[in-house]
Chains A and B, each alone.
Chain A
Amino acid sequence: ELKVEQNPLFLSMQEGKNYTIYCNYSTTSDRLYWYRQDPGKSLESLFVLLSNGAVKQEGRLMASLDTKARLSTLHITAAVHDLSATYFCAVDMKYDGSQGNLIFGKGTKLSVKP
């Protein structure tokens, strides 16, 4: 059974600081996704990581994937209040090349304070 673990689950940051959210998963997969969710809202896709060593950046967020370590990171640079949200990583269950079903981590609730 594929398990996805995120840490930390809660993160309170000051504006301007850097931090990293970690996502570990238990079985082979080469597709990993990061989503953002604002309270009461749907899931907004942030990054799709499809291969070992993949690194993607958008604004103050950068995501990377190490399939050998089964680890993805979401790095936040110089946090601003607008980044306050819950961040989920999700792993595609199917690793045989076809798209499968996403298994989500529990989410990291990020709060950025002035």
Chain B
Amino acid sequence: EPEVTQTPSHQVTQMGQEVILRCVPISNHLYFYWYRQILGQKVEFLVSFYNNEISEKSEIFDDQFSVERPDGSNFTLKIRSTKLEDSAMYFCASLTGTGGDEQYFGPGTRLTVT
């Protein structure tokens, strides 16, 4: 069964450093998303991406965040200058966009900023 994959599974970085989180969505999916979940809290929407551009973003997704689909398979989230409060689990999700379907979530990347 096709699945969303994410790398790395765990990333430790120092405050102020740049990180890139990678996702490979399911191949025939058209919509891509990033969510984050701070430990013990709810899942929060960050950004959605369709047709090679951001379709929506939340207040959390400020200028330090960016997303890219550099080729036909990868979908990346970049955090330019990490802060302690960026420590969270980051989930990538995708869906086909044909209507009525669900978002499939990847296993997540745990980001720890020290």
> Residues of A with Cβ closer than 8 Å to B?
33, 35, 41-43, 45, 48, 50, 88, 90, 93, 97, 99-107
Q: Which of B8-63 contact A (CB under 8 A)?
A: 31, 33, 35, 41-45, 48, 56, 58
If A100-B48, A105-B42, A106-B42 touch, does A48 touch B100 (CB 8 Å cutoff)? yes
**A residues in contact with B35, CB < 8 Å:** 102
Residue of chain B at shortest CB distance from A97: B99
User: CA–CA, A33 to B104, complex, Å?
Assistant: 11
Cα–Cα distance between A50 and B95 once the two chains are bound (Å): 15
Q: Is B75's beta carbon under 8 Å from chain A?
A: no
Q: In angstroms, how far is the closest chain B Cβ from the Cβ of A44? A: 8
Nearest chain B CB to A96's CB is how many angstroms away?
A: 12
8 chain-A/chain-B pairs, Cβ below 8 angstroms: A41-B107, A43-B91, A45-B104, A88-B43, A90-B43, A102-B43, A105-B42, A107-B42
Shortest Cβ gap from B48 to chain A (Å): 5
* Pair A101/B48 contact, Cβ less than 8 Å: yes
The interface residues of chain A lying within 8 Å CB-to-CB of B107 are 41-42
Contacts of A43 in B (CB 8 A): 43, 91, 105
Are A42 and B97 within 8 A (Cβ)?
no
Q: Are A102 and B103 in contact, CB atoms less than 8 angstroms apart?
A: yes
- Rounded to whole angstroms, the CA-CA distance of A43 and B44 in the bound complex is 13
- The contact of A101 among B56, B104, B106, B108, by CB within 8 Å, is B56
Closest residue to B3 on the A side, CB-wise? A42
Chain A hits for B33, CB < 8 A? 101-102
A97-B98 Cα distance, complex, nearest whole Å: 11
Which residues of B lie under 8 Å from residue A48 when comparing CB positions?
100-102
Answer whether A42 and B108 are a contact pair too, CB < 8 Å, given A48-B101, A99-B97: yes
